[in-house]
Amino acid sequence: MIFEDKIIKILKKIFSEPALLITLPIALLIYPCILLISPFILFRFGFFHSDRLGHFAVNTEIFFCEEKYFKRINIPTFDFYYFPTKPCNLHLAKMISIKVNIFPKFLIRPFCLISRSFDFLSPHVTGRSSNSDYDTNHVLDKVKLQLGLSRQEIQKGNKVLKKLKLNHKKIICVGVRDNSYLKKKYTKQDFRYHDHRNDKIEKYIPGIKFLLKKGYTVFRMGSITNKKLNIKHKNFLDYSNNKIKSDFMDVYIAYNCKLFISNNTGLDALGVMFRKPILHIGSLPLGAISTFSDRYYNTFSNYFSLKKKRNLKLSEIFDLNLQYLWKKKDFQKNKIRIVHPSKLEILKYFSETISIIESKKRNKKDIILEKKFKVQFSKYIIKKKDGDKNYHNKIKTKVLSSFLNFNKHFLG
């Protein structure tokens, strides 16, 4: 970004935040002093993405892990953080506030804005993970949990579930994306461009019943959901429509679960943060799937070509440059219809994942099939980059053989 563009960007922020008209000039007067003492004492300014759970949880945990793993600063350092919005999860905000000092936005915002506006001030920037919510340095596998629950908090959550006579030792979370949360939470924004990522919770019922038969306690997760899920079983709870739902319980349940199943929603971010196995149903877009840990169990949605009248192979998706499409209109423009996994496929994905987790073993044929995917995928992500973005390092994810067997066209 050229200098003029940065100035224009700053001016737009000033006019959108009138308080900066007062606080920014004061910060500009103080900043030379900060620079003067920086060889001896370093002041850093930053914020945590507090508006959306996915970034609030994962970006923050990755940042803390990277700080620990790549620690290079050898002089006294003072960090000043703030939340730019009301936190989407107040208990997670509390956990972060225990680890670092959080200051009022109006105090830290101008210093943060100055630090992030010019490259030479980058040593004064903090709170930012190296690659957003993509753990391409694999620090979540290398560094112990930075944001956890205390023993008292765990006991508190256990008591809540005990009152409901739910087993807290074998919890599986199921979160299925629909349009209700974004529609009701952000009434002034149009998120219909995400509609192709939504799915029907009813398709997950056979899989949930399978988990219940296996003795697991299943929580249907979500802050706001379109439909209640009426499954009558002593170990099932539609938590998204239950009175125990709270910011604390969101965190506790994810912390205590054995597996988090989702169709790529922000809901599973807490599971990622707590190093839980994650089963992704119908991952999208193909080029930006989560590959940075073997705790991921990936399956994909099909790219159905309206021109060819069939589902596309992995190679075709990359050759046609469809792998990094995020918005519904872009799929429509390219005459592509996203086909999510069927009810039967989802059941098989649940079954295979549980089998791997419980036995800790995999069939040799399944491993060979997965390796075939990884070879093809690795070749294409090196050859076909998404500009200067990087979503991958080592391809560590598991890819379910049930997906590859259901979709034999996929690898060609």
Cα–Cα distance for residue pair 88/110, rounded to 1 Å:
23
Strands of 111-240, DSSP E: 171-175, 217-220, 236-237
Largest Cα–Cα separation, the chain:
67
Instruction: Report the CATH number at residue 288.
Output: 3.40.50.2000
pLDDT the model gives residue 8: 75
- Pairing mode, if any, of strands 310-311 and 302-305? antiparallel
Burial class (CB in 10 A: 0-12, 13-18, 19+), 240: buried
End residue of a domain, out of 111, 142, 173: 142
| Terminal C-alpha separation, the chain | 42
In-domain check, residue 322: yes
End residue of a domain, out of 142, 168, 186: 142
3-state secondary structure of 144: coil
**In terms of domains, do 204 and 55 share one?**
no
In-domain check, residue 21: yes
**In terms of domains, do 42 and 78 share one?**
yes
Neighbour count for residue 281 (Cβ, 10 Å): 28
Q: What is the pLDDT along the chain (412 residues), one digit of tens a residue?
A: 566 676 777 778 777 888 899 999 999 999 999 999 999 999 999 999 999 999 999 999 999 999 999 988 899 999 999 999 999 999 999 999 999 999 999 999 999 999 998 899 999 999 999 999 999 999 999 999 999 999 999 999 999 999 999 999 999 999 998 866 555 665 666 666 667 888 999 999 999 999 999 999 999 999 878 789 999 999 999 999 999 999 999 999 999 999 999 998 888 999 999 999 999 999 999 999 999 999 999 999 999 999 999 999 999 999 999 999 999 999 999 999 999 999 999 999 999 999 999 998 899 999 999 999 999 999 999 999 999 999 999 999 999 999 999 999 999 8
In-domain check, residue 147: no
In-domain check, residue 86: yes
> To 10 degrees, what angle do helices 20-37 and 105-117 make?
60
In-domain check, residue 364: no
State the total domains in the chain. Answer: 2
Cα–Cα distance for residue pair 91/148, rounded to 1 Å:
11
Cα–Cα distance for residue pair 13/17, rounded to 1 Å:
6
Residue 395, C-beta contacts closer than 8 angstroms, at least 6 positions apart: 291, 374, 377, 378
Strand partners, 371: none
**In terms of domains, do 287 and 391 share one?**
yes
- What pTM value is reported for the model? 0.94
**In terms of domains, do 128 and 169 share one?**
no
- Look up the domain containing 35 and give its range: 3-142
In-domain check, residue 199: yes
**In terms of domains, do 106 and 161 share one?**
no
In-domain check, residue 151: no
**In terms of domains, do 195 and 242 share one?**
yes
**In terms of domains, do 131 and 171 share one?**
no
Residues 102, 83 contacting (CB under 8 angstroms): yes
End residue of a domain, out of 101, 117, 142: 142
**In terms of domains, do 263 and 319 share one?**
yes
> Tokens at residue 225, please?
């959901």
**In terms of domains, do 160 and 71 share one?**
no
> To 10 degrees, what angle do helices 247-256 and 151-163 make?
100
In-domain check, residue 411: no
**In terms of domains, do 85 and 181 share one?**
no
CA distances from 49 to 53, 88, 89, 145, 328 (A): 8, 9, 11, 19, 25
**In terms of domains, do 167 and 315 share one?**
yes
pLDDT the model gives residue 395: 98
Dihedral angle over CA of 224, 225, 231, 234, nearest 10 = -10
